[in-house]
Amino acid sequence: MNIIKVKDYEEMSQKACSLLLDVVENERKPVLGLATGSTPEGLYRNLIEKYEQHEVTFEDTTTFNLDEYVGLAKDDPNSYRYFMNEKLFKHINIQDENTHVPSGVAEDPKQECKDYEQLIQEADRIDIQILGLGLNGHIGFNEPGTSFSSRTHVVELDESTRNANARFFDSIDDVPTQAITMGIETIMESKSIILLVSGANKAEPLARLVHGEVSEDFPASILQTHGNVTIIADEAARTKIDL
Ligand SMILES: N[C@@H]1[C@@H](O)[C@H](O)[C@@H](COP(=O)(O)O)O[C@@H]1O
């Protein structure tokens, strides 16, 4: 794993933006894997800025998001589809039909997972996948214990994950109990992966990811076995790693 050391959140976001733009500029039909949460917001702000400065076009870009809450519709401000529309898609020239987020309100969530997986397979590959890091080592919404050979599936969210994400909702009771997430094997098939890590609360999980054993108890540890992973970590997140 390649680790890029940056000073702070803003530098992490800029660095991630330039790596992503390399792909968008050099692939004929770029396929991006995108994430939600607080961590990639700065990256999206940087991408919008580059677009507004006419430095990039997204007209041939396709995107696949990692996950979505079950039960939240696309116009629910806490849905990840809403997040992506507001934080990125509506500000750039990407075509609506080329942006993919699993539906949280599909009548049959299991079928939705199959259809989503199928779409990813049809796109052939994800050129670059952006990941954040959950405090318990989750990637996407793949909680501890998820099989490394999982494909897109429905998950029960850990109480700790619901608590960590409760800050976005009125109360913990409003946080959905289930989500649809790309599987670990699906994520691992991406040609390249960029993991963004910022802030002191991520220092412990980052250390376990880098130095710990590869185990389904800590899903992000699988990244040690991928041939093209870049971790961009700021100072606060790096206090417990030895590099
Ligand atoms: N499902 C998302 C993940 O995709 C995200 O990477 C992680 C960290 O979130 P944050 O970036 O807000 O710390 O938790 C959320 O639950």
The ipTM estimated for the assembled molecules is 0.94
- What integer pLDDT is reported at residue 243 of this predicted model? 73
Amino acid at 89: F
Query: Which tokens in the block code for residue 30?
Result: 């770029």
Residue 161 CB–ligand 1 contact under 6 Å? yes
Q: Which residues are catalytic?
A: 67, 136, 138, 143
What is the CA(191)–ligand 1 centre distance, in A? 21
- What integer pLDDT is reported at residue 187 of this predicted model? 98
Q: What is the mean pLDDT of residues 67-82?
A: 98
Atom index in ligand 1 nearest the CA of residue 35 equals 4
Q: Which residue minimizes the CA distance to atom 14 of ligand 1?
A: 134
What CATH number matches the domain at 2-198, 3.40.50.1360, 3.30.1490.100, 1.10.260.40, 3.40.50.300?
3.40.50.1360
DSSP string, 61-129: -EEEESEEETT--TTSTTSHHHHHHHHTGGGS---GGGEE---TT-SSHHHHHHHHHHHHHHH---SEE
pTM exceeding 0.95: yes
- Among residues 180, 177, 152, 151, the alpha carbon closest in space to that of 166 is found at 177
- What integer pLDDT is reported at residue 149 of this predicted model? 98
- What integer pLDDT is reported at residue 242 of this predicted model? 80
CA 212 – CA 227 distance, rounded (Å) = 18
Q: Which residue minimizes the CA distance to atom 15 of ligand 1?
A: 37
Q: For the segment 172-205, what is each residue's pLDDT rounded down to a tens digit? A: 999 999 999 999 999 999 999 999 999 999 999 9
Q: Above pLDDT 70, what percent of the chain?
A: 100
Atom index in ligand 1 nearest the CA of residue 179 equals 1
Q: Above pLDDT 90, what percent of the chain?
A: 99
Q: Cβ atoms within 10 A of the Cβ of 14, count?
A: 17
Whether the pLDDT of residue 84 is over 90: the answer is: yes
Residue 37 CB–ligand 1 contact under 6 Å? yes
CB 22 within 8 A of CB 127: no
Average pLDDT, the chain: 97
- What integer pLDDT is reported at residue 105 of this predicted model? 98
Whether the pLDDT of residue 209 is over 80: the answer is: yes
DSSP string, 22-48: HHHHHSSS-EEEE--SSTTHHHHHHHH
